[in-house]
Structure 1
């Protein structure tokens, strides 16, 4: 029937999830007494998603934007974990299809995992250089908001576009793009996805910690430029 009735003469009554059959019957009777031509009853959470919840708490499963709703007076928001002003960093030089560049990975002092990246191409001011810098900012913010490096690796590895081709890295001799190279290299170095690079990095990280290299007000930036074994 609803398909043949104009929305101009139909009214919707939003009711809580705990509504009873008697309350629904009373709503229909009230609509009849008011002279309505049609009446629709909607109880909260009866659909997988709904644009407008009727309560602050309770079951918010499936509600669009439920992550931003206040719960017990507390608004849940994503937390950005920035790196300290002084931090350790890992510098890696790469070349893809004749295009050279540098990847600088800033590391969290407690885990040695990436928290910020900088990408510098040899040809400063070029379109490719600008895009790489913008992309690095996007990835850095994602890492600081807690997006796992493993998920980023799954999304960006093996992307195919120019420049592509041969590299100067014997462990990744040929790649499909610069983005493909960067994420496969980071996964190899920090996640041990494509070899034993993670073991090498963890050993280097333990060496730094054993030497009591700290970050903080009296800290410093350590940049390591080296080849993977």
Structure 2
């Protein structure tokens, strides 16, 4: 199996899509390291992940901590970045720029910094997989910040694929997935959002973390794909 004995680092790998990706990679034979900014989250993830998985704690918005993390890890084969704070839809007239900057700090600049730190440690044949979303191509009201981050991330993927070649750099463009990223919404609002979104999709449901994890595993294993974005969205972009 292509991931057997490969060292896979999943930043944001203790929850949601990242946790599902870490679990799938480990079950396919990889030696997986997950990272979170919270010790408790790392400990809970290790309790559910296959034996042999290890965890690190680092603030991915702190460049010094990111550099120290990869100094500790040494050589790796694959980097996956799925870290992100809870999402909220914010109309433009209610937008707080400090909040917008904080979201960019983790989801975009955190990813960029992680790749910068990891690149010298990626073995030949290795890969980087970042995370985007369908909001970049099909935003709705209140999605200005999220859509901007997705667009910036996909541009970054293409640029890094050229600069880091032959290391492969790709992204997964996920549709709405049932993960803790939506935990900032009241329960009733969240379930209504899920139901409304599902009703408008060709597949009639929103995604599960395991649906997206398959795409990350594919991009780690697919040795002839770079500078591309794989969409896993239940038909969001054609609905």
Give me the TM-score of the superposition, normalised by structure 1: 0.28
- Structure number with higher relative contact order (C-alpha < 8 Å, ≥ 6 residues apart): 2
Structure whose residues are more often helix by fraction: 2
Give me the TM-score of the superposition, normalised by structure 2: 0.27
Larger Rg: 1
